[in-house]
Structure 1
Amino acid sequence: MASYLSPDTVEEGLSALASGRFRLVAGGTDVYPALRDRPLQDDMIDLHRIASLRGIAACAQPAAGWRIGALATWTDLLKQDLPPLFDGLKAAAREVGSVQIQNAATIVGNICNASPAADGVPPLLALDAEVEIAALSGSRRLPLGDFILGPRRTALAADEMVTGLFLPDPGAAARSAFGKLGARRYLVISIAMVAVTLVPDAGGRIGEARVAVGSCSPVARRLPALEAALRGQPARASELAAMVEATHLAPLDPIGDVRGTADYRRHAALELVRRALAECATLLEMPA
């Protein structure tokens, strides 16, 4: 018979995790549907009672930014008053299943599930998110791009749990955008999705650009060549969109499946990148 534990602290959870092969559960919106009609076989640690894992808050360590606790839900994100930097992540939040799912599903759970089509991963990559990991032996941080290793695979060891995400503050002028293509408008697994963050410099040009594409590779990918090409360019929507070329999407490795062919995904990603850049640049052009 499977064991079920509901600890009150991270330390209690880590002690249990170190004692055997447990599965961590937060919102459960990926874990329980995967069971289908099968009974629960795995020993479970339910994290929902650990108060320190809740919330989204500004912080000063390891630098100025925000911490998203491991139990923060997509609804928590949507309801919180956050700067425009979070607009792309909030747009992705509205695409995560139904409102009922958004109420239960956690942002950290979305990355730990490590689906190639996880809606939260591209915008978090574009926000330079770092994953906060704890074990009894100590804690560590990993860039999100190093944390997700492949479909359903992460860098998390058996005795570790993710306690939150850290998002650095690039400045009040930064803006972000998110776009997704699916077979229908809502409640759909994406064919391709794109997230963009643009940070202007003092002269109104692009000081920093981050572009990430999901559902077009085993893991979501940043586009470093495009990011480098965008830096120093005037923040004008039409010009930035026109800069994007098919060669900039070289890191992607899309598959063909029932939702679309590999070529269709490449074309869709190219158009979504152009649109997201134009949207983000338009926001930069608007007066504060």
Structure 2
Amino acid sequence: MDYYAPESLSEALDILGRGGVTPLSGGTDFYPALTPGGPRQSLLDITRIAALHGISRQAGGWRIGAATTWSEIARAELPPAFDGLRAAAREVGARQIQNVGTVGGNICNASPAADGVPPLLTLDAEVEIAAAGGTRRMALSGFVTGVRQVALKPGEMVVALHLPDPPETAVGAFRKLGSRAYLVISIAMVAMVLRRDGAGRVDHARIAVGACSPVAQRLGALETALIGARPEEVRVTMANLGALQPIDDVRGSAAYRLDAVREVIARMLREAGDG
């Protein structure tokens, strides 16, 4: 097994372009998945590349480097609309995992239960992708294409996430349902960003659900129903949850997941109305 640890993005992209290497950031999902006798992999450790770290303010929004850890996100001073993302950061495994696990690794691992994806969807995140020949951007909603599947081409890697400025006074929230508070794979999770006008009516709504579909889903029908209404007055129905496709597994049945999501969203809307 070859191991590369470049300190510049250009060097990393050159190595990646040769083929046969796997980019590695925190490795919190990669190493537990290794099996005795499994295929040997050459690794490209990107954690030393300064350009992939940090959270910065840019014209029109924010940039989060792909190798930024969840601990860094949890501690960052960000607008209230990012509160859901910061709350999710505090629930990604234990503190040790948060200290090494990265936002880029979380989305590239593409688990249906990835904690970071729902709040990033509510923030209209775009993924910046680089290769030796240049860079491109695409919406996170199109980047994760299935279970453990993402829209990366050979020789490409994620270098950053870009989040546009949210509406002023918008507030974010995140709830994760599991069998215990920490160190748990989600049964379901909900992220939300709402803004209310002076009369208390919603004029901006983003709601996303994870662990209830192969890919985390925005709930467009519910978002539309919220516009112009007070959040506590909107009834969450199964029709609002039509985009979800939960499965039965050891953590819960599909029916339980739908009931749980409906109740979690209803509680979050009531809390938003009280706020």
* TM-score, normalisation: structure 2: 0.95
**Secondary structure of the equivalent of 2:239?**
helix
d(CA) in 1 for partners of 2:23 and 2:147?
18
Question: Hey, what's the Cα distance between the residues in 2 that align with 1:11 and 1:266?
Answer: 45
Whether 1:71 aligns to 2:67 is yes
CA displacement at 1:154 relative to structure 2? 0.2
The answer to whether 1:142 aligns with 2:138 is: yes
Unaligned runs of at least 5 residues, structure 2: none
Counterpart in 2 of 1:178? Answer: 174
Paired residue secondary structure (1:27): coil
The equivalent of 1:56 in structure 2 is 55
Q: Residue 90 of structure 2: which of 87, 94, 107 is its match?
A: 94
Percent of pairs with identical residues: 54
Q: When the two structures are aligned, how many residues end up with a matched partner?
A: 275
Please tell me the residue identity of whatever aligns with 1:145. S
Question: Do the aligned partners of residues 100 and 128 (structure 1) sit closer, same or farther apart at CA in structure 2, a change above 3 Å counting?
Answer: same
2: CA distance, partners of 1:36 / 1:98: 23
The answer to whether residue 230 in structure 2 is matched with residue 231 in structure 1 is no
> Which letter does structure 1 place at the counterpart of 2:207?
V
Q: 1 CA distance for matches of 2:274 and 2:106?
A: 29
Matched-pair contact (CA < 8 Å) for 2:232–2:272? no
Aligned mate of 1:257, from 249, 254, 272: 249
CA RMSD of aligned residues (A): 1.5
Q: Is the 8 A contact 1:111 1:118 kept in 2?
A: yes
Instruction: Choose the corresponding residue for 1:84, options 61, 80, 87.
Output: 80
* TM-score, scaled relative to structure 1: 0.91
AA at the equivalent of 1:238:
E
Residue in 2 that maps onto 1:286: none
List structure 1 segments (4+ residues) > 6 angstroms apart after TM superposition.
Answer: none
SS of aligned partner of 2:243:
coil
Residue in 1 that maps onto 2:148: 152
**Structure 2 residue 122 is matched with structure 1 residue 123:** no
Q: CA deviation at 1:184?
A: 1.4
Counterpart in the other structure of 1:208? 204
Residues in 1 aligned to 2:77 and 2:16: alpha-carbon distance in whole angstroms:
35
Distance 1:38 1:89 in 2: 38
Deviation string 1:16-71 (CA, Å, 9 cap, x unpaired) is: 111112100111111111114457711111001110111011111xxx11111011
Indicate if the aligned counterparts of 1:176 and 1:280 stay in contact, CA closer than 8 A.
Answer: no
Partner of 2:264: 272
Tell me which amino acid in the other structure corresponds to 1:259.
R
Check the 8 A contact 1:197/1:280 in 2, yes or no.
Answer: no
Structure 2 counterpart of 1:270, which letter? R
User: Would the aligned equivalents of 2:5 and 2:48 in 1 still touch at CA under 8 Å?
Assistant: yes
Unaligned runs of 5+ in 1: 284-288
Once residues 24 and 118 of structure 1 are traced to their aligned partners in structure 2, the CA distance between those partners, rounded to angstroms, is 18
- 1:202 is displaced (CA, Å) by 6.3
For residue 253 of structure 1, give the secondary structure of its aligned residue in structure 2. coil
Query: Matched residues in 2 for 1:239 and 1:23: separation?
Result: 49
Q: What is the CA–CA distance in structure 2 between the aligned matches of 1:252 and 1:46, rounded to whole Å? A: 35
